[in-house]
Amino acid sequence: MRSVGFKVAMASLFAFAVLAVAWNFLIARVDPTAAPAAVAKGPSVSAGGVALTSAAIALPDATATLPDGPAGELVTQHCTACHSVEMITTQPHLAPEKWQATVEKMRAVYKAPIAPGDDPALVAALVSFQQPARVADK
Ligand code: HEC
């Protein structure tokens, strides 16, 4: 009969081995030496053994807009400094309490400067934008 200490040690060793294998598997998926996806190369300068090459990437244009009016203005004012309109309007349909929790998280965790007094109107606006017909671009 083995001691409890021995069993705990073996269980820990086993858990560590499993984690080590899993970790190896995960990092094997990311090849840090892989060339980045097609990036247009521009002019380059070099000095002291270091070469700097300009690169240009094409980012998609943000095309969606919020409806005109106080609701659209409120969400533009409080959310689009950090998120695109699409990011807001393509969220899964959420109940008002969930939107309230999201607004509180933005304020508490990401320091969004949203006055708590604006919450009810903001939540109502966010709920109203969940109807695809209300999103101007759709
Ligand atoms: C100060 C910047 C900032 C502002 C303003 C802001 N957010 Fe965020 N938000 C973040 C960051 C950072 C994250 C986490 C990274 C991500 O998922 O994009 C996030 C994540 C989210 C998420 C993903 C789910 C989650 O809980 O993380 C939602 C939905 C969201 N924000 C909605 C909003 C809405 C709606 C507003 C306006 C009321 C807002 N955000 C305002 C910074 C901000």
Residue 37 has what pLDDT? Answer: 64
Instruction: Summarize pLDDT for 29-73 with one digit per residue, the tens.
Output: 666 677 666 666 778 899 999 999 888 888 888 788 898 999 999
Residue 25 lies in a domain: no
Residue 38 has what pLDDT? Answer: 64
**Domain total in the chain:** 1
Cα(86) to centroid(ligand 1), Å? 12
Ligand 1 neighbour 80 (Cβ under 6 A) = no
Residue 39 has what pLDDT? Answer: 64
Indicate which CATH number applies to the domain containing 97.
1.10.760.10
Question: Can you tell me the mean pLDDT for 102-131?
Answer: 94
Residue 23 has what pLDDT? Answer: 80
DSSP state of 48: T
Residue 5 lies in a domain: no
Residue ranges with strand state E in the chain:
40-47, 50-56
Range of the domain at 111: 70-134
Max CA distance (Å), the chain: 76
Question: Can you tell me the mean pLDDT for 14-33?
Answer: 78
Residue 56 lies in a domain: no
Residue 77 lies in a domain: yes
Residue 120 lies in a domain: yes
Choose among 125, 82, 84, 86: nearest CA to 105: 82
Residue nearest to atom 7 of ligand 1 (CA): 106
Residue 125 lies in a domain: yes
Cα(103) to centroid(ligand 1), Å? 8
Residue 123 has what pLDDT? Answer: 96
Residue 101 lies in a domain: yes
Residue 31 lies in a domain: no
